[in-house]
Chains A and B, each alone.
Chain A
Amino acid sequence: MSEQPTFDAIAVGFELPALVKHPTTRQLVQYAGASGDFYEIHYDQDFARAQSLPGVIIHGALKSAWVAQVVTDWMGLAGSLQAFSVRYRDTDVPGDTLTCTATVVGKDDALGIVHCEIALTNGAGDVTTTGDATVQLPRS
């Protein structure tokens, strides 16, 4: 874990360290068990194809956990995630390489809060998930 970021040291345009994920079908089953989401489109290939999907797809909530992780791994123990949102623009599949990113797009001096845009990009370069996050950081 890197050192604690502070509100004063972070400028608009700052890019948080990206996370690269290599999801596997095993991980989808692991997430299904840990989250209690046993919808078959995430582990049953025949079921998924019968739903007009290319095969099993990654849980949206798992993708949201990953983009949140970009922020929570960076903000340190003194940072606080106040809000975040994600929109799934397309499905993602295991076997792909997914890159999760976040960029600081605004700062609220009165509240000590930074606003970030977050995204998940697949191996073909398509942004399949977008969102935003609001983080409170210590002043110094």
Chain B
Amino acid sequence: MPILTPAMQSAVGTSGEEQTHFVERGAIQRFAEAIGEANPAYPDVAPPTFLRSLGRAIPPLPDSDAVPRVLDGGSGWTYGPPVTPGDAITIQTTLESLKEREGKLGAMLIADYTTTYVNQREEMVATQTNTVIRMAASA
């Protein structure tokens, strides 16, 4: 049975509601500690994947109740100017594509998202592509 429905397909190209979050020094410190990082550059600047913790503005996926198991497939980042405490980062996430594939765990829905991170000076500090794998509930 196909898991990629027409309603899901209609969400391709949509974006979640834009969000703006402030970068707090303490949040960078806690993030660096959580990843086991003692680099002296932190928390004066944010580690490369810190932006992930600010959240993403993922658009709603119709029929997602049918594919409740979720795995992260991978990410790609490109970076602009550094992210530093006090920055206000505006985040927007777009669903770029949906594909269905048969994997070792059964039918998988492969969702590709792009998230943009723009600071208060209108500089693009990062772009993240992220692949999310969704599957039907376990038998």
Interface residues of A (CB under 8 A from B): 1, 21, 27, 30-31, 33-37, 39, 50-52, 59-62, 64-66, 68-69, 72-73, 77, 80-88, 91, 131
Contacts and interface: CB of A to CB of B under 8 A. Distances in A.
A36 to B, nearest CB: 5
Contacts of B35: 31, 34, 62, 65-66, 69
Contacts of A83: 76-79
**3 cross-chain pairs, A with B, having the tightest CB-CB distances, nearest first:** A60-B72, A85-B76, A34-B34
Given A35-B31, A35-B34, A72-B47, A84 B52 contact: no
Contacts of B8: none
B6 interface: no
Tell me what chain A mostly uses at the interface: helix, strand, loop, or mixed: mixed
Contacts of B37: 65, 69
A84 B40 contact: no
Tell me what chain B mostly uses at the interface: helix, strand, loop, or mixed: mixed
Given A50-B138, A52-B138, A72-B47, A60 B78 contact: no
Contacts, number: 98
B78 A51 contact: no
A21 B72 contact: no
B48 A81 contact: yes
A4 to B, nearest CB: 12
Nearest to A81: B48
13 contacts: A31-B35, A34-B53, A52-B105, A59-B72, A60-B72, A64-B49, A64-B74, A64-B75, A65-B37, A66-B36, A73-B39, A82-B78, A91-B71
